[in-house]
Amino acid sequence: MSSLRAALRLLCASLLGHALAPGALAADVTATIEEGVLVVRDGERLFCRYLHTDSSTPCLYPLLDPGGVAVTRGYPMEELAGESADHPHHRSVWFAHGAVNGHDFWHPAETTIRHAGFELIGDDGRGGALVISRNEWRASAGELICVERRTMRFASGPAGRTIDFDIELGSDEHDLLFGDTKEGTFAIRLAPGLRIEGELATGESVNSAGDENGACWGKRASWVAYRGEVSEHACTVAIFDHPDNVNHPTWWHARKYGLFAANPFGVHDFEKLPPGTGDRRVARGERIAFRYRVLVATGKAQPEALAGASLRYLDSSPVQRSPLAGAGEVELVRDGFLFTEGPAWVPTTSSLLFSDIPANRIYELDAAGEIKVFREPSHYANGLLVDELGTLWACEHGGRRVSRSTLGADDPKTLAHEFGGARLNSPNDLVLRDDGQLYFTDPPYGLLGKPSELGANHVFRRTPSGELFVVYRGAEGSRPNGIRLSPRQDWLYVAFTSKGVVRRFPVALDGTTGKGEVFVETSGGPDGMAVDRDGNLYVAAKAGVEIFSPGGQRWGVIEVPEKPANCAFGGSDARTLFVTARKGLYRVRLPVPGLFR
C-alpha cells in the first residue's frame, strides 16, 4: 500500500498542468462576515458563501471553482435559467439526515437545523480559512434533538479548492438514533451542466471502485466525483469519505440528476437488507463524528489523479496525539466469570458481546448496562467480530471452525474448518477487511492435548469465495494469537504469545500478504489486540494493555487488576476500551477513538 501511495504521488506530480497536480498554496483564503453572511474568498475572488441565518438548513452557496464558475444548483436559494425546481430540500452543499430519533431533517418541513453561533472565524495557519460553527437540530415543537459542532477549513492551490468538514453531533439529555434510510447525509446538488441526465447535462460520475454513472448509486466507495462542463467550462467536483467515518467506505446516494451524498446509514435501501440494519445509536453524553473533503477543480480529473487527491487528504491528518493523555480510570464492569475473551462491539444495538470460553457461553453487555447470556452453547467460542451489517463471526474451539451468523440466529454456518483435507486446530481470533477477506489465527489451544492434524500452527486468509491461503506457517510450539489490521488495512498485526512479540505482515491491494517482521516486543504473553484511528496498537500482555505507535514506539501501559486476554473499542463514540481479563470485564475511557473491528 505504501508503494502504491508513492506511485500515485509520482503520477500526480507528473501531471503538469492537470487540475489535480499537487503544488504550493496560492493566495490566502479568508473568511469574513459581510452583511450578516459568512463570505469565503480566495484572494479577491469569491470561493463560497455560508448561508446560516435564513433557512432551515445551513448550506454553502454558491460554490465556485477556481475559474469562478458556480458548480452547484441555485434553486431553492435563487431561480436560475435552465435549472429544475425539484427537491427543494437540496441546498447546494449541506449536511442533514432523514431519521434522527424519528425526526426527518432531510426534508425539513417540520424540523430545523438552526445556526447557534460561531466559535471561530479565522485562519488555519497554512494559508487557509478556518470556521467553527454550532448548530441545534430541533423538532417541529422546538424540542432540541441534538447539538452539532461543525469545523470547516477552506483552502486553495494549483490542485483546486478544497473544503474539509469535521462534524460532531450528540446530546447530553438523551440517546440518539440515526435511522437506516437512504435520505441523507453529506450532500451536494450540482449545477445542471454536471448532471448525467437532463437539460444541459454534460456530466459523468466515477467512484473509487471504478463504477460509473448510474452504477455509483448504492455502492460503497472512498470517493465519488462528477465531471463535466458548466457554461462550456470543464470542472470536477468530488467528495472524499475519511476512514475515521462510520462504515467507511460509505454508501453513496448518487443520482444521475445531480445529487450525490455520502450516506453511512442507509443499509436497508442500498444492500436490500432488513429495515434497521444500518441504525446507529449514540449514547447520551457521547458524540458521533463525520469527516469529509470536498474538492472543486478546473478540468475533468482522471481517476488516477482523484486517487492521489484522496491519499493527500488522508496524509493531511492532524499531528498524532498521545493515546494516554486524559485517559480515565480502569473500571470493573463485572467479575465472576470463568475466563473472558473475544470482546466485540455491536454498533446497531450499542452493546458488547464477549466470550466465556470454559462456560461455553457468549454474553452481552446491553445498552442499559445489564449483562445476559447471548448464546449458549457457544461451541467454546473465543474471538468474535461483528460487522456493520449485523453479522457475527466467531472462532470456535469446540467446532474447530470459523462460523458466521446473524445476531439473532442460533445456528451459525461454517466458513472454514479444514485446510488441505485436514481439520483446523482451533481458530482463535479474526479480523475482517473491507473487501470481505478474513484473516484468522489457528493455534492449538482448543485441542486440549490432542494431536494437530495439520502438524503446524497457521495464520490464514479466507477470500469471500471461501478459499484459504496461508499467511504464516509455524512449528507446533509457535502460538499465533491475536490479530488486527491497521486503519488503512496495509499492515496485518499478529501476536505470537510464546515469543512475546507482535509481528506485522504487509498487505497488498488484493489482500495478499508479504513476509512478516517483528514489529514490537512486549512485556510477555501478548494476546488479543485493538487498533485506534491514529493507528496505535493496543496489546493485551503480561504488564497490562500495552500501547504502541504506528512506528513501534511504546506509549505506555494501561494496568488492569487481572492479566488481560483481549481488548476492543466500543461505545457510541468509540472511545471506550473494553478489556477481558481472566474472570472480569473492565473498561476505560480514552481520548483517541478506536476501530470497532
Domain-wise residue ranges, the chain: 2-315, 331-589
pLDDT (tens digit per residue) in 322-364: 899 889 999 999 999 999 999 999 988 889 999 999 999 999 9
- More confident call, 124 vs 475: 475
Does the CA dihedral 31-32-38-40 come out positive or negative? negative
Work out the mean pLDDT of the chain and round it to a whole number.
Answer: 91
- In angstroms, the CA 432 to CA 492 distance is 11
> Are 120 and 130 contacting, i.e. CB atoms less than 8 angstroms apart?
yes
Q: Per-residue pLDDT for 474 more than 90? A: yes
Whose cell is 490432542? That residue is 450
Whose cell is 477470500? That residue is 463
Arithmetic mean of pLDDT, 56-77:
95
Arithmetic mean of pLDDT, 499-505:
97
- More confident call, 7 vs 227: 227
Pairing of strands 129-138, 112-123: antiparallel
**Length of the chain in residues, anyone?**
597
- In angstroms, the CA 567 to CA 460 distance is 21
Q: For the packed helices 2-14 and 303-315, what is the interaxial angle rounded to 10 degrees?
A: 120
User: What top-level class would CATH report for the domain 331-589?
Assistant: mainly beta
- In angstroms, the CA 554 to CA 538 distance is 10
Arithmetic mean of pLDDT, 499-510:
95
| Cβ-proximal residues to 158 (8 Å cutoff; 6+ apart), any chain | 21, 22, 23, 24, 26
DSSP-derived 3-state class of residue 268: helix
Rounded to the nearest 5 degrees, what angle is found at the Cα of 225, between the Cα atoms of 147 and 157?
A: 80
Looking at residue 377, its pLDDT comes to 96
- In angstroms, the CA 75 to CA 85 distance is 6
Per DSSP, the residues of 525-584 read ----EEEBTT--EEEEETTEEEEE-TTS-EEEEE--SS---EEEEESTTS-EEEEEETTE
CA dihedral 550, 552, 556, 560 (to 10 degrees): 80
With bands split at pLDDT 50, 70 and 90, how would you rate the model's confidence at 27?
A: low
| Cβ-proximal residues to 174 (8 Å cutoff; 6+ apart), any chain | 101, 284
Which amino acid would we find at residue 301? Answer: A
> Are 379 and 360 contacting, i.e. CB atoms less than 8 angstroms apart?
yes
User: What top-level class would CATH report for the domain 2-315?
Assistant: mainly beta
The sheet with strand 438-442 has its strands ordered as 430-432, 438-442, 457-462, 468-474
Q: Per-residue pLDDT for 10 more than 80? A: no
The three cell numbers of residue 533 are 484511528
Arithmetic mean of pLDDT, 499-507:
97
> Which residue in 188, 252, 190 sits closest to 216, CA to CA?
252
Q: How many CA atoms lie within 13 A of 211 on its CB side?
A: 17
Q: Where are the alpha helices (DSSP H) in 239-375?
A: 267-271, 303-315
- CA 407 from chain center: how many Å? 21
Q: Name the burial class of residue 461, with classes exposed (0-12), middle (13-18) and buried (19+) by CB atoms within 10 angstroms of its CB.
A: buried
**pTM for this predicted structure:** 0.73
> Which residue in 310, 47, 33 sits closest to 157, CA to CA?
47
Q: Which helix (H) or strand (E) holds 315?
A: helix 303-315
DSSP-derived 3-state class of residue 46: strand
pLDDT (tens digit per residue) in 426-458: 999 999 998 899 999 999 999 988 999 999 999
How many Cβ atoms sit within 10 Å of the Cβ of residue 564? 28
Q: Per-residue pLDDT for 105 more than 90? A: yes
- In angstroms, the CA 554 to CA 566 distance is 18
- CA 270 from chain center: how many Å? 17
- CA 382 from chain center: how many Å? 25
Looking at residue 533, its pLDDT comes to 87
Rounded to the nearest 5 degrees, what angle is found at the Cα of 434, between the Cα atoms of 429 and 439?
A: 25
Q: Per-residue pLDDT for 578 more than 80? A: yes
Arithmetic mean of pLDDT, 229-256:
94
With bands split at pLDDT 50, 70 and 90, how would you rate the model's confidence at 316?
A: low
Q: Which residues pair with 198 in a beta bridge?
A: none
Looking at residue 18, its pLDDT comes to 37
